A and B are shown apart, each in its own frame.
Chain A
Amino acid sequence: MENRPGAVREPCRALADAGINIMALSLADTANYGILRLIVQDPDRAQAVLERAGSVVNVAEVLAIDVPDRPGGLADLLDILDSRKLQIVYMYAISHGSRHKQAAMVFRFEDPDRAIAVLAGHNINAVSSVELFARSQ
């Protein structure tokens, strides 16, 4: 999105009008433009809605990983990722509130398949999209 008034509001309003709930969101910015990253239940429908509203949309594969909701929860996970040299392109949080003692982090990995294998080896599992959306109900 260009850095101008309405740039964030317009796509959010378009999704709202289509009854689409935003599960998680991150906004990365530079001086002139930004990228809005969204987690939604139905990415294909959301893409169609957003494109009709004039946005340019890219659907990317990300992993949601449970992180113990305590100090050190994220740092411990990052220790593992760093030691196995898994490159993180970007990440942001999904909060489920205090009901669950877990928080989930969304990761965009350079090599998602390797990331899944490495994490499985440490008994860390990615949260499936089904589970993720169930938690938000």
Chain B
Amino acid sequence: MDHLWNDSPGGFHTASAPDYLPAEQLRQLQLKRLQASIGRAYDHVPQFRDRMGQRGLTPADLRSIEDLGRWPFTVKADLRDNYPFGLFASPMEDIVRLHASSGTTGKPIVVAYTRQDVQVWASVMVRAFAACGVHRGDIVQNAYGYGLFTGGLGAHYGAEALGATVVPVSGGNTERQLMVMKDFGVTVICCTPSYFLHLLERAVELGIAMPLLRVGIFGAEPWSDAMRQRIQRDSGIRAYDIYGLSEIIGPGVGIECPRQDGLHIFEDHFYPEVIDPETCQVLPDGAEGELVLTTLSKQAMPMIRYRTRDITRLMAEPCPCGRTIRRIQRISRRSDDMLIIRGVNVYPSQIESALLAVEGTLPHYQIILTRRQGLDEMEVRVEVTAEFFSDRIQALETLQTRLGKSIESTIGIRAAVRLVQPHSIQRSEGKARRVLDERDKGI
């Protein structure tokens, strides 16, 4: 197939060429890279070598892509157990970037990048932007958080490498976001979908129009087709879903194309499998299960068969856009109890640890999630039982404050703490229903 490789508006970007690799070439490339990646992990990461050894595997045993099914998995706990640098395959002198995301017990998960890794990350983000019709001359407002979170810098480097004009606003300060959007003539917005809804509502309240805004690249939290329809209808922009996770690279693992029917995985860099989460068997394309990803080119921290806990299916049908890199269905749920609140990963067990840390006893609690003006709100209801009760108002207020501070320092976002009467939180047999998620009702 001939394409016109140029970077003029509307044309294909040269960086997007690998999206269209003929299938056989793609598989050969993947096998070669997979062998190199497994070799690298084997040579430099003791945990991988040990686990492979336990199964009697050496890198030479990977002769075809299907052989990957014999390889052990990596799970989030492995990153936590090896905090901070235990899974790195490069010496620190070669590592030019560290990022971190929240872990399950308060310790973050640390990820690393060599110079080449940073370039690969930028290149997949370029392909992601290009797939959404973003080009040189676009003014891109990046409202993903800049800092340890991979979202901000990931989108930034990609948009900049693409040649667009990047405005690094980061998160928060809604009035300023809208001022920038209007005054700078922003054409592309990157943020969480719920935050964009909030921006839209505020813009309506303030009477601010954004006629130049054309594209939104939304991710870091699951969002429904109904929400997409609402965003597109209320703003007139095209709203695209982007997928990623820090453990693999950050944003840029997958992106929707103009068909908006599934996310293309950049599988020349991230090899996708879908497994049955119970039996761990690899499932054929089309079957729903847990997404497992293997990095093919990461140097600093290769990930072999990382279980994402995201539930999806690989779509077997070729996409009309012409890309040969396979699509996954939009992620709607997880196989664990992880929550995403304002783009931050939160586990109920973290809330438990935070509550336990205050008085040394774990109170009965419940997490109530609501969405107000597009922003996620979390309320933690704590039962006041004899252990926590005091006849002093000040003591109860102090308790409430300490619980709130403990939660905030553990998960990084503020939660309202509400003291409630004993026995007002439902007890249940077996797994307690700790979380009442009332967001997305009707959206």
Q: Are A54 and B422 in contact (CB under 8 A)?
A: yes
Which A residues lie within 8 Å of B95 (CB)? Answer: none
Known: A32-B419, A33-B419. A58 touches B390 (CB 8 A): yes
Q: Are A35 and B421 in contact (CB under 8 A)?
A: no
Q: For window 1-35 of chain A, which residues contact chain B by CB distance below 8 Å?
A: 1-2, 7, 28, 30, 32-33, 35
Which B residues lie within 8 Å of A2 (CB)? Answer: 419-421, 424
Given B389, B391, B424, which contacts A108 in the complex, CB threshold below 8 Å? B391
Of the four ranges (under 10, 10 to 19, 20 to 34, 35 or more), the interface on chain B belongs to 10 to 19
Nearest-CB residue, chain B, relative to A54: B423
**What sequence of 0s and 1s flags, for each residue 380-399 of chain B, a beta carbon within 8 Å of any chain A beta carbon?**
00001110011111001100
B371 within 8 A of A: no
Q: Are A35 and B422 in contact (CB under 8 A)?
A: no
Which A residues lie within 8 Å of B391 (CB)? Answer: 35, 37, 58, 60, 90, 108
Chain B's nearest CB lies how many Å from the CB of A4? 8
Q: A-B pairs with CB below 8 Å: how many?
A: 42
**What sequence of 0s and 1s flags, for each residue 137-172 of chain B, a beta carbon within 8 Å of any chain A beta carbon?**
000000000000000000000000000000000000
Q: For window 313-368 of chain B, which residues contact chain A by CB distance below 8 Å?
A: none
**What sequence of 0s and 1s flags, for each residue 29-49 of chain A, a beta carbon within 8 Å of any chain B beta carbon?**
010110101000000000000
Q: Are B384 and A35 in contact (CB under 8 A)?
A: no
The total of chain A residues at the interface (CB under 8 A) is 18
A134 within 8 A of B: no
Which B residues lie within 8 Å of A130 (CB)? Answer: none
Complexed CA–CA distance, A22 and B77 (Å): 56
Which B residues lie within 8 Å of A35 (CB)? Answer: 391-393, 396
Given B384, B397, B423, B424, which contacts A30 in the complex, CB threshold below 8 Å? B397
B418 within 8 A of A: yes
Which A residues lie within 8 Å of B422 (CB)? Answer: 54-56
Which B residues lie within 8 Å of A56 (CB)? Answer: 384-386, 389, 421-422
Across the A-B interface, the 10 shortest Cβ-Cβ residue pairs: A60-B391, A56-B389, A2-B421, A58-B389, A58-B391, A56-B422, A28-B393, A33-B419, A2-B420, A56-B384
